[in-house]
Chain A
Amino acid sequence: MFNTFLPPSLILIVGALALPAISIRLRPFLLVFIPLLALAQIWSYDLGSAFTIDFLDYQLTPLKVDALSRLFATIFAIMAAIGGLYAMNQKRIIELVAAFIYAGSAIGVTMAGDLITVFVFWEIMAISSTLVLWSVDTNTAYKASMRYILIHLFGGVVLMAGIVCLAASTGSIEFTAMQATSPATWLILIGFLLNAGAPPLSGWLPDAYPEASYSGTVFLSAFTTKTAVYVLIRGFPGEEVLIFIGLYMIFYGIIYALLENDMRRILAYSIVNQVGFMITGIGIGTDMALNGAAAHAFTHIIYKALLLMSAGSVLYATGKRKCTDLGGLFRTMPLTMVCGVIGALSISSFPLTSGFISKSMISQAAADGHMLIVWMFLSAASAGVFLHAGIKFPWFVFFQKDSGLRPPEPPKNMRAAMVIMATLCIALGILPEYLYAILPYPVNYVPYTADHVLKMLQLLLFSGLAFFILLPMMKRTMTISLDFDWFYRYAGTKLNDFFVKIFSYATIKMNNFIVLQLSVFKDVILRHFGSDGAVTRTTSVGDMVQWVAILLSIYLVIYFL
């Protein structure tokens, strides 16, 4: 039975819009209940079912369910539910409404069978995620949100141009696998990649995400980039250029995260890094690689949310966000610390955590394809993840030095959300078969062999050794690192100032010139047409008559002569 009465995306969106009208006592329950209702709806559909409506000349498919879309919709709904639990004491209701619309439209993208529906939900995501940033009532957040929406609206325009070109040339708007061979598909690919945080505009992500509230960043981390991963898996599997873009993102994330001081910006850079692994997998394009990319998106949402919840709790309790101000918090926030460490171990793919069973599939796919260089980079990057996120985040926030801060643990609901996420990380690591069962392709992969576990432990623990040996080189400084966004944040404004100066100078000069010319002109007019001017000065009637008499007498004289 195909129940189209309320698709899961609309359950979240309608539910979100109803939230402000609901009494404060009931609201916390709904924050968990609405996403769970959407989750139940997602699983009520049979695989392969689709729902179409006619719109203008096109047939839209707002609902199409297969294994890939169900996987992403599932994790988005779970994320919204646990995020809702974490955000229960967020007083700014607008953030929660925006976050749920955001989650709903992300689910809308995953269930869309045509490009127009994808585009519509894509834009709703851009706007609602901007609202999550706006709800933080600071000037810094507002400015960051304007830069954020600038990039996303630009991406949206590129995507729409691509869709329009494709529809015009092929007549089809069906969302299926494409190849970047025509301008239309290139534009679509670029539009998709922009949301994934691909170069050169990756800077929007670490710029904007850490400016959201303690709970807002948790929502932001999950949907935009992972929806991009979803549409790339569906639209461009095996597109070779993605391997290089992915590898670039991996190392971009590591290097910038190593230099960063803001704890949540470190984690934001590591989102780019992790999405890089997925993009590389999509570029490799085999069943194993695509499964790996999809599985990694699934596990990543959980452990990245966990890491940001842990960082959010620290921000909530201390009001501080810089590593230079933090340290030694393990004394009074042991649960937050343990959950953060579990998230850190998962992102580093330690055996028995979720990252181990998903990221390994991407490396395996590179090895199966005999891509030695790609594989070498991926292995080095795995070690690098432990370095920049796995140790760096917990070390500088919870250990390092004693900052003297003795903050309490966060409220009950936030602790519960972290514990659930941490449990999921470990459960997926111990029982990978449940995740493998819902992946888009049949899985023929055994992560736990003695050989693989030992290699991974060697790689990671020696990366840890490198961290502690080189610790003096990683002393935190009160700095930021310039990125491509320098061009529109600094160079652009300077260029603008320059032009403003030139134009204002030119305007003043021009004004002076015109005023001068006008005054000369005015003098001329006044001389001839002024009250004493030859042309307009007044003369008495008597003078006039006298002159007429003189003229007439001259005429008479001439006539008689």
Chain B
Amino acid sequence: MSKEKQSVKDVHWLVRPRTIQILWKGGLITLAVLVLADLLITPHPYFSIDGTFGFYAWYGFFSCALMVIGAKAFGLLVKRKDTYYEDKNDSGDNNV
């Protein structure tokens, strides 16, 4: 038995590259189906913009992308090492 086979068996099935590939494909198909389902359902928009095709999909995606990038930029300003406030006397113990 080769070493490679052994290691593939050791890895939990959920994190094998093949499973991850299938999950990505399945996820993308789900997303496509969800957007296309817009065509089947009569929308009841509150305003004019939210009645347009795939509004929630692109709005969800881009607002999240904006938040992640925004947080990253904001982080440059406020991020510090996690020992920033620590005293020399403090033990880094966990509070179990």
Contact = CB atoms under 8 A, between A and B. Distances in A.
Contact of A470 (B37, B46, B65, B96): B65
A375 B47 CA distance: 10
B94 A384 contact: no
A468 B78 CA distance: 24
A255 B72 CA distance: 9
Interface residues of B, number: 52
A306 B66 CA distance: 29
Identify which of A384, A399, A490 gathers the most chain B CB atoms within 10 Å of its CB.
A384
Interface string B9-43: 00010110000000000010011001101100111
Contacts, number: 164
Interface stretch (A27-35, A235-243, A481-489, A503-511): A481-489
B4 interface: no
A141 B68 contact: no
A19 interface: no
Contacts of A473: 68-69, 72
A428 B39 CA distance: 30
B64 A259 contact: no
Interface stretch (A190-198, A207-215, A277-285, A550-558): A207-215
A407 to B, nearest CB: 12
B8 interface: no
A383 B63 contact: yes
Interface in A105-145: 136, 138-141, 143
Interface in A190-226: 211-214
A138 B79 contact: no
Contacts of A458: 34-35, 38, 54, 56-57, 60
B80 interface: yes
A258 interface: yes
Given A139-B90, A380-B59, A490-B85, A449 B44 contact: yes
Contacts of B71: 254-255, 258-259
A172 B62 CA distance: 51
B6 interface: no
Interface string B63-96: 1110111111011001111101101011111111
A478 B95 contact: no
Given A461-B30, A462-B61, A387 B67 contact: yes
Contacts of B30: 461
A449 B42 CA distance: 11
A479 interface: yes
B95 A481 contact: no
Nearest to B68: A470
B56 A455 contact: yes
B19 to A, nearest CB: 12
A465 B72 CA distance: 18
Contact of A474 (B44, B60, B68): B68
A372 B82 CA distance: 40
Contacts of B78: 259, 481-483
Given A138-B91, A211-B95, A459-B60, A477 B68 contact: no
Given A379-B59, A458-B60, 4 more contacts: A212-B95, A383-B60, A463-B64, A480-B82
25 contacts: A139-B87, A255-B74, A315-B94, A367-B46, A368-B46, A372-B47, A375-B47, A380-B63, A384-B67, A458-B34, A458-B56, A461-B31, A461-B34, A462-B61, A463-B63, A465-B31, A466-B65, A467-B64, A473-B69, A477-B79, A480-B79, A480-B80, A480-B81, A483-B78, A489-B85
Which 4 A-B pairs rank lowest in CB-CB distance, beginning with the nearest? A367-B46, A380-B63, A466-B64, A458-B56
Interface of B: 12, 14-15, 27, 30-31, 34-35, 37-38, 41-44, 46-47, 50, 54, 56-65, 67-72, 74-75, 78-82, 84-85, 87, 89-96
Interface of A: 136, 138-141, 143, 211-214, 251, 254-255, 258-259, 261, 315-316, 319-322, 328, 330-331, 367-368, 370, 372, 375, 379-380, 383-384, 387, 399, 402, 449-451, 454-467, 469-470, 473-474, 477-483, 489-490
